Amino acid sequence: MSLHVYNTLSRSVEAFVPLNAPRVRMYVCGMTIYDLCHMGHARMMMAFDVVYRWLCASGYDVTYVRNITDIDDKIIRRALDRGMAIGELTQQMIDAMHTDIGALGIAPPTHEPRATAYIPQMLSMIGTLEQRGLAYRARGGDVNFAVRKFPNYGQLSGKSIDELRAGERVAVGEGKDDPLDFVLWKAAKPEEPADAKFDSDYGPGRPGWHIECSAMSGALLGETFDIHGGGMDLQFPHHENEIAQSEGANQKPFVRYWLHNGFLNVDNEKMSKSVGNFFTIREVLQRFDGETLRFFFLRTHYRSPFNFSDTLLDEARTALRRLYGALDSVPPAPGDAPIDWTQPYAARFRVAMDDDFNTPGALAVLFEMATEVNRSRSPALARDMRALAGALGFLQQAPRDFLQGGNGLDEATIQERIEARAAAKKSKDFAAADRIRQELLAQGVQLKDGPDGTTWTRT
């Protein structure tokens, strides 16, 4: 079976055939960086990190572009509120983003363009759209896209122009010829700071959000490329507008495969600051390690609704410890061997991942391997299991380091209690020895006696 993906554009699962195999060009809408990244951002980043990793593991040469929006109304307001320059705020937030997603093991993209570095390309595209009669200068200095002049508008979302009502998208009276039109260039307002304004033939201003992605993807990947990804909430209007702009300007198909990850809920409710269930990545990492959080995401298919809760994270941590426990039960096999995709476990792992990146199915294969490692004590099978997990970006720590990591008692205290237990056993005070074992277990530390002494892991 070759790789098949669900294409939002066709609303069906299709065989993945790149334009210029083995090269694959992929663009994913990244962050608007005015605040710390939250769990919804983590879900999106993780979904396309898996796509990227699996394409690479499958032998493709992937150029992965994930942009940063560093000019936006929210960014301007936040910088003003904090008395900061826009560039100072955005760099602070970009650094924080890299720290947080790095803790989750999310690989850096090939290119991470910032919108403000591509203003000339955006203006060039706007000029082309204006020449083609698809853009016009509006009252007040904005430049807008004329939606009704693009005949295929709605092809991605399945929405026809007649179904769209003015109140669903924009307020009437914004200087537009049609309420459905969207802004390409926003004229600067007098009260806005100087670093929020860019020079153009249309006057000082800044780009609209949608034109940013069209210009950056075109500059780095070409006018037509293989994969465009993002959260399901971006399907309309953002991605729909990208298609209209890009195809309107270039007169070519924009993207072959559109991939969208599902929504994130918290305890089965939509995450929202107003209901108090809003969590940043940084907050969650104070309670759970990054690899546990990564593994937690992998347990749900990227297109499915994703439910976040501490209970489910606890379950994920226990399950991940089971996998590491299997690796810890055998001595490491010498060297690193490439994955043999004809090996039965590896072949089944590949079938799962080639089925639209079915990570739950791939994890099921790893758990079968863990059971067999525990039974057979095969270092070679443990090495294969670790290699397959590496294609998804986890299970790469030394097993003992992971199993002994985490919050709770420090290692020196644990070792002192183990030595006290050993002394109690030596003096035949087995009740005291058992009491120490139970006390440690109650504090999240499990002891394991073996021929080489007592080892421990966190539960």
* Cα distances (Å, whole numbers) of residue 359 to 140, 238, 273, 400: 50, 27, 30, 25
Rounded average pLDDT over 241-255: 98
191 shares a domain with 70: yes
Residues whose CB is less than 8 angstroms from the CB of residue 357 and which lie 6 or more positions away in sequence, other chains included: 5, 50, 51, 54, 301, 302
Range of the domain at 349: 266-403
Domain final residue pick, 229, 261, 293: 261
CB atoms near residue 59 (< 10 Å): 8
Selection from 308, 305, 306 nearest residue 267 by Cα: 308
314 shares a domain with 173: no
CA distance 308 to 285: 14
28 shares a domain with 137: yes
DSSP 163-216: G--HHHH--S-SS-SSTT-EEEEEEPPTTS-GGG-B--TT-SEEE-HHHHHHHH
363 shares a domain with 382: yes
Selection from 354, 445, 420 nearest residue 391 by Cα: 354
Q: Are 271 and 278 contacting, i.e. CB atoms less than 8 angstroms apart?
A: yes
| Structure-model confidence comparison of residues 179 and 162, the more confident one | 179
Selection from 228, 258, 295, 247 nearest residue 134 by Cα: 247
DSSP 60-71: -EEEEEEEEE--
pLDDT the model gives residue 166: 42
Q: Are 152 and 247 contacting, i.e. CB atoms less than 8 angstroms apart?
A: yes
Residue 325 belongs to a domain with what CATH number?
1.20.120.640
198 shares a domain with 214: yes
Handedness of CA 81, 86, 87, 92 (dihedral sign): positive
Residue 259: enclosing H or E segment and its boundaries? strand 255-261
106 three-state secondary structure: coil
pLDDT greater than 70 at residue 113: yes
Rounded average pLDDT over 371-392: 96
CA distance 67 to 73: 17
pLDDT band at 417; cut points 50, 70, 90:
confident
Phi, psi of 371 (to 5 degrees): -60, -40
Residue 265: enclosing H or E segment and its boundaries? strand 264-266
pLDDT band at 75; cut points 50, 70, 90:
very high
Separation of CA 17 from chain center: 23
Domain final residue pick, 211, 231, 261: 261
CB atoms near residue 305 (< 10 Å): 12
pTM of the model: 0.88
pLDDT the model gives residue 457: 78
CA distance 456 to 459: 9
Check residue 83 and give left, alpha or beta (phi > 0: left; psi -120 to 50: alpha): left
pLDDT the model gives residue 234: 96
pLDDT the model gives residue 278: 78
Domain final residue pick, 206, 226, 261: 261
257 shares a domain with 133: yes
275 shares a domain with 196: no
Average pLDDT of every residue of the chain: 91
Q: pLDDT, tens digit, for every residue of 87-109?
A: 999 999 999 999 999 999 999 99
13 three-state secondary structure: strand
19 shares a domain with 90: yes
Tell me: cis bond preceding 151? Omega within 30 of 0 counts. no
Task: Provide the domain count of the chain.
Answer: 3
418 shares a domain with 399: no
pLDDT the model gives residue 424: 77
10-24, 34-48, 112-126, 421-435: which range is least confident on average?
Answer: 421-435
Tell me: cis bond preceding 22? Omega within 30 of 0 counts. yes
pLDDT greater than 90 at residue 445: no
387 shares a domain with 309: yes
Q: pLDDT, tens digit, for every residue of 201-230?
A: 999 999 999 999 999 999 999 999 999 999
Q: pLDDT, tens digit, for every residue of 117-176?
A: 999 999 999 999 999 999 999 988 999 999 999 999 999 999 888 777 544 444 445 678
285 shares a domain with 142: no
> Which amino acid is residue 43, in one-letter code?
R
170 shares a domain with 215: yes
Residue 401: enclosing H or E segment and its boundaries? helix 399-403
Residue 99 belongs to a domain with what CATH number?
3.40.50.620
pLDDT greater than 90 at residue 195: yes
